[in-house]
A and B are shown apart, each in its own frame.
Chain A
Amino acid sequence: MKSTLITRRRAIIAGVASLGGLALARYPKNLPPTYGNLLRMGDTFTYAAQRTLLPGQALVREYSLADLTSFPATGTIDTSGFVTPAMLDAYRQLQNGGFADWRLSVEGLVATPRTFSLGELKQFQARTQITRHTCEEGWTAIGQWTGVPLSLVLAAAGIQPSARFVVFYSLDDWVDSIDLLDALHPQTILAYGMNGRDLPMQHGAPVRLRVEKQMGYKSMKYLHRIVVTDEFDDGGEKGNIQNGWAWYTGI
């Protein structure tokens, strides 16, 4: 006679199997592509582990004015080997006009795609924070940043419930993205001020991103376009992964 008893062992096996199936079915869309690269698989494992184990919106340590340190400027638009003369010219024109003609465009999965001038960004409730910039190279620097929380800008454009990632484009032609958890983090800001003054060119004028829970290179300088998406966008050949770098750098 065929047994129809549901034993505890069977129930556990069925439960684990369906959980695994759910995870497999749900995960790939939400995880960065690995392109079959073992190192990128490790990055993805670290990302999934940190997202699972760490509380979502804990704040990074904030320092005092007395803790400010000197701050090297690396990957500046005028020293980058990837920047074409036309790109640099366009930037110089914006800079000479005091960035009056600069606009930040917010597009994608938002109710109303919008552009913001520097003045419009400064009308939002500002946030000032003194945080540690942690460079993947091994050095750190403490700076004071003033700007508008990214969450306020996204809310003003009407971010849609299906949104999962935010993609950033810079005037020096970089593309990068972060997930919504980091995008909506209270310390993730669009900074237009540094150490009490306008953000200097060397540090990303007129506006740079600050993603305090990740390595420095995620805090993109020279922002000009933000796109909200529901699918992972690794930035293609201009993004981190295809250039051999980790997309998630919370570690």
Chain B
Amino acid sequence: MTGHARWVRICHWILTASLLTLAFSGIEILMVHPRLYWGDAGNDLTPALFELPISRNYRHGGFEKATPFFSNAAGPTSATRTYEIFNQNGWGRSLHFLAAWWLVLPGAMYLVGGLFGGHFRSHIWPTAKELAPDSIWGDLRNHLRLRIPQASGGPNYGVLQKAAYSFVIFVAAPLIVLTGLTMSPAVTAAYPFLLRLFGGYGSARTIHFFAFVALLLFVIAHVVMVVKSGFKRQLQAMTVGE
């Protein structure tokens, strides 16, 4: 049994540091405007899809009386904000984008290396045999009973484990990067299909948030499994190797 390849170990820890920094700065950014929308645009004067009570900006209500732009009083309005909001986006946004480069560039190298080096085919992508209902059901039963096999120190994964890794690598991570880029006015000027793909800026921001929630749930499950299968051995296998 071979251990984790060196390039996989290096990518793993760079991406770990990047994701933790992105989560930290991303939560700060969300705290500045903890309202999420669906569609092209949304703000304090328009209805939210939902709101999160995660900062003093939550439902602050600090606006002067709204005045309509047009004779139609039910149409768009303007109102002056008088409330001093919590806003640490000066460092929050810049830290988010700095960390994002450390997700996108090593992430792209990992994708290329995994695709052409056989890593995905040999270790990550579930085989047809593993995807048989019996195999999935058996692995699921073991997980529910918390019967987690001890770490082998290398990339021989169970079918649920492979499915989780595949979801992160091929679905959640590309989705969170693409919805992130959809919030960039310069990027969407060059690539307007991004706004069409995600149904507008407001929707892209909401999908970005749910992709974060999915990745957060993955990280929690991942850490629990690492602990259950032998924390010390796993940590050693993913840093210095076997």
Chain A contacts to B: CB under 8 angstroms = 38-43, 45-46, 50, 54-55, 58-61, 63, 67-74, 76, 78-79, 132, 134-142, 194-197, 200, 202-203, 212-215, 243-246, 250-251
Contact = CB atoms under 8 A, between A and B. Distances in A.
A138 B78 contact: no
B35 A42 contact: no
B2 interface: no
A71 B90 contact: no
Contacts of A45: 98, 101
B90 A215 contact: no
Given A42-B94, A138-B32, A138-B33, A54 B186 contact: yes
B30 interface: yes
Contact of A141 (B41, B89, B90): B41
A130 to B, nearest CB: 11
A75 to B, nearest CB: 8
A187 B190 CA distance: 14
Nearest to B85: A137
A251 B97 contact: yes
Contacts of B79: 70, 72-73
Contacts of B91: 39, 244
Shortest 9 CB-CB contacts between residues of A and residues of B = A250-B186, A42-B98, A138-B33, A70-B45, A139-B43, A244-B90, A39-B94, A140-B41, A251-B184
B198 to A, nearest CB: 13
Contact of B186 (A74, A76, A79, A214): A214
Nearest to B33: A138
The listed residue with most B CB atoms (<10 A of its CB), out of A50, A71, A200, A214, is A71
Contacts of B90: 243-246
8 contacts: A38-B98, A50-B187, A69-B41, A70-B79, A76-B80, A137-B32, A203-B78, A251-B97
B189 A59 contact: yes
Interface size classification for chain B: 35 or more
A54 B94 contact: no
B44 A72 contact: yes
Contacts of A69: 40-43, 45-46, 76
A195 B45 contact: no
Contacts of A39: 91, 94-95, 98
B76 A54 contact: no
B49 to A, nearest CB: 13
B94 A132 contact: no
Contacts of B188: 60-61
Contacts of A78: 80
Contacts of A43: 94, 97
A132 B80 contact: no
B51 to A, nearest CB: 12
Interface of B: 29-30, 32-33, 35, 37, 40-46, 63, 66, 69-70, 75-82, 85, 87, 89-91, 93-95, 97-98, 101, 183-190, 192, 195, 201-202, 205
Nearest to B93: A136
Given A72-B45, A140-B201, A50 B186 contact: yes
A61 B94 CA distance: 25
Nearest to B98: A42
A72 B78 contact: yes
A41 to B, nearest CB: 8
Nearest to B95: A39
Given A46-B97, A137-B85, A141-B41, A70 B66 contact: yes
B78 A142 contact: no
Contacts of B80: 72-74, 76, 78-79, 202
A72 B43 contact: yes
Nearest to A50: B186
Contacts of A50: 186-187
Contact of A137 (B77, B87, B183, B184): B87
B94 A195 contact: no
B189 A213 contact: yes
Nearest to B81: A74
Contacts of A132: 40-41, 185, 201
B167 to A, nearest CB: 27
